[in-house]
Structure 1
Amino acid sequence: MNLELTVEDPRWHGLEALASRAIQAVLDRCGLDSDLCEVSVLGCDDTRIAELNSEFREKSAPTNVLSWPAEDLAADTPGANPASPAPDFMGEIVLGDIAISYDTCLREASQAGKAMDDHVTHLIIHGVLHLLGYDHIRDPDATLMEAVEVDILGKLGIDDPYNE
C-alpha cells in the first residue's frame, strides 16, 4: 500500500503505524490488493480541519475525520455494497484523501473513556470506508457501514464503538 502521510501537528506520534494498520485491515476486508492502493492521510489539528470542513462541507466547525474519495463508488440502492474500485491505466487504485484532527480525536477518546490509538484506528477505518463508497446518511447505508467497521475493528482486537 502506498500511504502518503502528511503530519502538520507534531502531537501525531505514531500516526503512520496506526494509519497503515487501519488501512490494511480495510483493504483486506474489502478484498483489495494493497500493493495497488494509494491513500493520503493528513494529521492535523482542529484549526486546520475546521478550515477544510468549511471549505468542502460548508460547516464552520472542527470534526474528527474528513474524506475525499477519488471516485464515487456509492451504491444506488440503500444498504447495498458499494462498487469496487478498479485500477487506473497505470495499474494503481488511488482511493483518495483523509484528514484527521488530533484535538477532536483526543477530546472524543477522553470523553468516551477509550484509548486514543483505538479511537484513531476506528476513525481512519471510517474514513477509508468513505473512500470506498460507504456512507451513513441513509439508515440502511449506516447499518451496513457500522457492521463493516465493527467487523474490521473486531479483527484488530478493538471493541465495538457503537455498543457503549
Structure 2
Amino acid sequence: MICFDIEIADERWASCPVEEVTANVARILSGALSVEASYGDVSALFTNDSEVHGLNLEWRGKDKPTNVLSFPADDFPVGEGETPPLGDLALAYETCAREAAEKNIPFAHHLTHLVLHGVLHLLGYDHIDEEEAEEMETLEIRLLSQLDIADPYSDGSA
C-alpha cells in the first residue's frame, strides 16, 4: 500500500482532512493498480502558494504557483526489505482553496483529486498529449467515483 509521510508547513492545512484524504487515496489506488505500482512511500508537503511558486520556478521554470507539484523518485536506490520511495508532492493551500471555491465543490473533494492526480504522476501517468490525458483522467474519474466524488473534469452542467 502507498504510505504518506505528511508535513504541514502552513497552519491553514491543520483544519483540513489531510490524513483522511491521503488514506482514501492510498486505499483506492491499492485496489485499482498492480501490487508493485501501488506500493511505496510518498512525502506530501502541505504548504502555501509562495513555497510552491518557488518550487515551480526552480524545477519547472514556471513563474507562478500551482495547485500540486509531483517529484518522482526515479531510480532511487532501495535496500533489501525497504519500502521504495515513489516521490514527493507539494500542495499550495491558497490555490487549492481558490480552485475549489471557483468550481463550487467541497474543498476535501478537490484536495482528494489533487492528491490522487499527484500520486498518479509519481506512478508514471501524465497528460502531456491527448491520449495520455484521456487515460489519466479516465482513471481519476473512476477512482474518485469510489469515494462518491464527482467527475472533476465535468463543468457541472450535465
The two structures have a TM-score, normalised by structure 2, of 0.87
- Structure 1 residues 18-97: aligned runs within 5 Å: 18-32=21-35, 36-71=39-74, 89-97=80-88
The answer to whether residue 148 in structure 2 is matched with residue 145 in structure 1 is no
* Contact 1:4-1:39 within 8 A present in 2 as well: yes
How far apart, CA to CA, are the structure 1 residues paired with 2:123 and 2:135? Answer: 13
Runs of 4+ with deviation above 4 angstroms: 33-36
* Contact 1:2-1:35 within 8 A present in 2 as well: no
Post-superposition shift, 1:21? Answer: 1.3
- Please list every run of 5 or more consecutive structure 1 residues that lacks an aligned counterpart in the other structure: 73-86
Post-superposition shift, 1:71? Answer: 1.8
Change (3 A) 1:88 1:127: farther
Coordinate RMSD, CA, aligned = 1.9
* Contact 1:65-1:98 within 8 A present in 2 as well: yes
* Contact 2:30-2:38 within 8 A present in 1 as well: no
* Aligned positions, number: 150
Residue 98 of structure 2 is matched in structure 1 by 107
* Contact 1:26-1:129 within 8 A present in 2 as well: no
Q: Which amino acid aligns with 1:50?
A: H
Post-superposition shift, 1:88? Answer: 5.8
SS at 1:11 equivalent: helix
Change (3 A) 1:130 1:36: closer
Post-superposition shift, 1:94? Answer: 1.5
The two structures have a TM-score, normalised by structure 1, of 0.84
Post-superposition shift, 1:36? Answer: 4.6
SS at 1:110 equivalent: helix
How far apart, CA to CA, are the structure 2 residues paired with 1:35 and 1:88? Answer: 18
* Contact 2:69-2:91 within 8 A present in 1 as well: yes
Q: Which structure has more RCO (C-alpha within 8 Å, separation ≥ 6)?
A: 1
Post-superposition shift, 1:151? Answer: 0.6
How far apart, CA to CA, are the structure 2 residues paired with 1:95 and 1:129? Answer: 10
SS at 2:12 equivalent: coil
How far apart, CA to CA, are the structure 2 residues paired with 1:34 and 1:11? Answer: 32
Percent identity, aligned pairs only?
39
How far apart, CA to CA, are the structure 1 residues paired with 2:31 and 2:74? Answer: 20
SS at 1:68 equivalent: strand
